[in-house]
């Protein structure tokens, strides 16, 4: 298995390191010290720098002003962003933009994607359903406008109506940075059980955003849709569109977990190398070294499974199991691994790890958010079991 990155992928990672070099993880109030969100908006100066560095258009084709790179390159950039707890919807914007390019209406893609690359538009996605413990596509219903009008007994239905658009009803919870977004991608299910992705504007009629706050202290929103009308132009109705977008979001979350875990282990190594007990650095004690070594093994397993999943998405390569199997394995390792890394870091830092003047507690809060995003390890273990049952291995 060769995980050697191309020159273009390495260049993207290097550019990301340059952009994130000046970002301080403690640039906003601690989530432990404020009752609500740590800030009202995303980090707009950082967002502008990402746009100037062509990192928001990384996976867009040249015709939309992008570099035409693959999800592996995006994951490399996400890994760097998590090392500094970058407060930007990089994953959500890039994933939705890539899905729009791949499955969306060409004229809408041509209108929106160049603006996304320039940092003029922020995109996000509702992927948690009503409660975070159910398929997101079942949380919102989509009906053809003519059918909805007929159900309501409107004059338009009695006069024949049209099939010009769709009507959405339902709720998506914990939508990241929805208040800052220009467009929200919402999966919705038709009466026939088909899944569509609708692009809605937070300000349009029938859309309500209820304030929520993440474990990491960032703004989320419960997005409520009541008779929200959209045109067919704003839909991605390819049968595989939502599965592909969710796969990319999940794999990107694994990249965030890896970058965060690596930053935390480096922080722990530096601290235990300086902290002395009985006249020796605590890093020289066998019990400390063994715990740190175990976490290093976790990170290497997280890395290997991440690149396997990203490679499957990027290439569409066949395997013994569908790509969903590799993604499930990656998310199992990401969720469990990042939790173990931050817990061990807190233990080895002692009381210092909980000091709100030291950034470790912020990484712990972000790690918990990442661990549960797009499903905890148990949910992906169940999904992997279903895949194994459906695909007998010879």
CA-closest candidate to residue 61, choices 107, 114, 112: 114
Residue 234 phi, psi dihedral angles, 5° rounding? -90, 15
What is the pTM for the complete model shown? 0.94
Question: Tokens 């010879």 correspond to what residue?
Answer: 394
Q: What does the block give as tokens for 348?
A: 């080895």
Q: Residue 171: how many CB atoms within 10 A of its CB?
A: 18
Residue 150: predicted pLDDT: 58
Longest pairwise C-alpha distance within the chain: 88
> At a CB cut-off of 8 Å and minimum separation 6, what does 113 contact?
57, 60, 64, 65, 66, 97, 100, 101
Distances, alpha carbon 42 to alpha carbons 24, 82, 84, 122, 370, in Å = 14, 15, 14, 10, 18
> At a CB cut-off of 8 Å and minimum separation 6, what does 74 contact?
58, 59, 91, 94, 95, 98, 252, 255
Over the chain, what HEC string results? CCCCCCHHHHHHHHHHHHHHCCCCCCCCCCCCCCCCCCCCCCCHHHHHHHHHCCCCCCCCCHHHCCCCCCHHHHHHHHHHHHHCCCCCCHHHHHHHHHHHHHHCCHHHHHHHHHHHHCCCCCEEECCCCCCCCCCHHHCEEEEEHHHHHHHHCCHHHHCCCCCCEEEEEEEEEEEECHHHCCEEEEEEECCCCCEEEEEECCCCCCEEEEEEECCCCCEEEEEEEEEEEEEHHHEECCCCHHHHHHHHHHHHHHHHHHHHHHHHHHHHHHHHHHCEECCEEHHHCHHHHHHHHHHHHHHHHHHHHHHHHHHHHHHCCCCCCCHHHHHHHHHHHHHHHHHHHHHHHHHHHHHHHHCCCCCHHHHHHHHHHHHHCCCCHHHHHHHHHHHHHHCCCC
Residue 154: predicted pLDDT: 54
- Residue 120 and residue 143: Cα distance in Å, rounded? 31
Residue 283: predicted pLDDT: 77
Residue 164: predicted pLDDT: 63
Residue 394: predicted pLDDT: 58
Residue 42: predicted pLDDT: 98
Task: Please state the separation of Cα 166 from the chain's center in Å.
Answer: 27
Residue 136: predicted pLDDT: 94
- pLDDT tens per residue across all 394 residues of the chain: 567 899 999 999 999 999 999 999 999 999 999 999 999 999 999 999 999 999 999 999 999 999 999 999 999 999 999 999 999 999 999 999 999 999 999 999 999 999 999 999 999 999 999 987 789 999 999 999 876 655 655 554 433 333 469 999 999 999 999 999 999 999 999 999 999 999 999 999 999 999 999 999 999 999 999 999 999 999 999 999 999 999 999 999 999 999 999 999 999 999 888 886 787 887 778 888 999 999 999 999 999 999 999 999 999 999 889 999 999 999 999 999 999 999 999 999 988 888 899 999 999 999 999 999 999 999 999 999 999 999 877 5
Residue 158: predicted pLDDT: 37
Answer positive or negative: Cα dihedral of 240, 246, 249, 252.
negative
Residue 159: predicted pLDDT: 35
């Amino acid at each position: 298995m060769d995980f050697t990155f191309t020159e273009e992928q390495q260049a993207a990672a290097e550019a990301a390191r340059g952009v994130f070099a000046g970002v301080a993880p403690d640039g906003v109030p601690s989530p432990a010290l404020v009752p609500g969100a740590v800030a009202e908006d995303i980090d707009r100066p950082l967002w502008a720098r990402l746009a100037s560095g062509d990192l928001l258009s990384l996976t867009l084709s040249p015709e939309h002003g992008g570099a035409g790179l693959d999800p592996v390159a995006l994951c490399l950039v996400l890994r760097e962003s998590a090392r500094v707890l970058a407060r930007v919807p990089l994953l959500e914007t890039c994933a939705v933009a890539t899905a729009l390019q791949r499955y969306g209406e060409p004229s809408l893609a041509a209108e929106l994607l160049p603006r996304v690359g320039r940092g003029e538009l922020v995109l996000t996605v509702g992927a948690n359903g009503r409660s975070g413990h159910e398929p997101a596509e079942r949380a919102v219903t989509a009906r053809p406008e003519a059918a909805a009008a007929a159900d309501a007994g409107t004059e338009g239905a009695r006069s024949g109506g049209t099939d010009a658009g769709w009507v959405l009803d339902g709720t998506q919870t914990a939508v990241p940075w929805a208040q800052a977004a220009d467009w929200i991608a919402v999966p919705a299910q038709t009466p026939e059980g088909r899944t569509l992705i609708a692009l809605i504007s937070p300000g349009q009629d029938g859309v309500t955003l209820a304030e929520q706050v993440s474990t990491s202290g960032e703004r989320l929103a419960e997005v409520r849709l009541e008779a929200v009308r959209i045109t067919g132009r704003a839909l991605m109705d390819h049968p595989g569109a939502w599965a592909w977008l969710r796969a990319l979001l999940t794999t990107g979350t694994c990249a965030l977990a890896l970058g965060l875990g690596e930053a935390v282990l480096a922080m722990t190594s530096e601290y235990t190398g300086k902290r002395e007990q009985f006249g020796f650095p605590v890093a020289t004690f066998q019990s400390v070294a063994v715990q740190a070594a175990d976490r290093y093994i976790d990170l290497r397993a997280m890395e290997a499974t991440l690149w396997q999943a990203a490679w499957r998405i990027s290439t569409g390569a066949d395997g013994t199991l569908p790509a969903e199997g590799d993604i499930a394995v990656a998310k199992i390792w990401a969720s469990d691994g990042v939790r173990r890394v931050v817990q061990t870091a807190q233990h080895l830092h002692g009381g210092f790890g909980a000091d709100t003047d030291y950034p470790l507690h912020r990484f712990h809060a972000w790690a918990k958010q990442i661990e549960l995003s797009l499903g905890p390890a148990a949910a992906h273990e169940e999904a992997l079991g279903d895949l194994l049952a459906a695909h007998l291995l010879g």
